[in-house]
């Protein structure tokens, strides 16, 4: 397990570029809201900690993880942002639906990164159980939202 020995919320602030002049879009899935709100809180806190002004964080909600791609595309084409974070949570159920949603969402975010010159960060948990998702959205393994925010800052400043 990739996160077994790593806290997703750990970062060395001295190694992160200052984000004061950056604007971030965060598109949040409403499905599995307990998890996605935890991820959003982690992302927002990390962005603010690294200097982002609160007015430079734009949040949009979409119904589910499948809709993240469209929400991120709309964010990229209508808002002046330096990076977008796609936040979602898909928890495996009894059908193959999990695999279709996870694959389509990952491919959609990948396609946006190819098409646009603004990075889109994949912060979609794809867990087998609710407990695994809780552990990665502010629980024992930290917060994947924090990790996504740090990735967004680094990608927004890539090459600067």
Give me the half-sphere count of Cα atoms (radius 13 Å) on the Cβ side of residue 92.
9
Nearest to 39 by CA among 100, 90, 97, 98: 90
Answering whether pTM is above 0.85, one says: yes
Q: What is the DSSP letter of 15?
A: G
Element (H, E) at 106: helix 97-115
Residue-wise pLDDT for 2-34, tens only, equals 555 666 588 889 999 999 999 999 999 999 999
Going residue by residue through the chain, which has 160 residues, state the pLDDT in tens, using 9 for 90 and above: 455 566 658 888 999 999 999 999 999 999 999 999 999 999 999 999 999 999 999 999 999 999 999 999 999 999 999 999 999 999 998 778 888 999 999 999 999 999 999 999 999 999 999 999 999 999 999 999 999 999 999 999 998 7
CATH no. of 23-154: 3.40.50.960
pLDDT number for residue 25: 98
* List 97, 99, 110, 115, catalytic entry: 97
70-82 pLDDT, tens digit per residue, is 999 999 999 999 9
Three-class SS state of 49: helix
Domain locations along the chain? 23-154
141 counts as catalytic: no
Q: What span, in angstroms and rounded, lies between the C-alpha atoms of 65 and 98? A: 11
């Amino acid at each position: 397990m990739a996160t077994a020995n790593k806290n997703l919320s750990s970062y060395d602030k001295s190694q992160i570029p200052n984000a004061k002049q950056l604007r971030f879009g965060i598109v949040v899935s409403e499905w599995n809201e307990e998890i996605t709100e935890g991820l959003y809180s982690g992302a927002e806190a990390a962005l603010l900690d690294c200097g982002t002004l609160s007015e430079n964080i734009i949040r949009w909600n979409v119904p589910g993880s499948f809709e993240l791609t469209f929400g991120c595309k709309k964010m990229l084409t209508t808002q002046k942002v330096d990076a977008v974070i796609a936040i979602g949570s898909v928890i495996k159920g009894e059908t193959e639906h999990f695999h279709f949603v996870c694959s389509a969402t990952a491919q959609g975010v990948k396609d946006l990164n190819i098409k646009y010159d603004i990075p889109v960060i994949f912060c979609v948990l794809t867990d087998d159980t609710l407990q695994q998702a809780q552990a990665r959205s502010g629980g024992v393994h930290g917060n994947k939202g924090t990790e996504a925010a740090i990735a967004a800052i680094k990608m927004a400043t890539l090459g600067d």
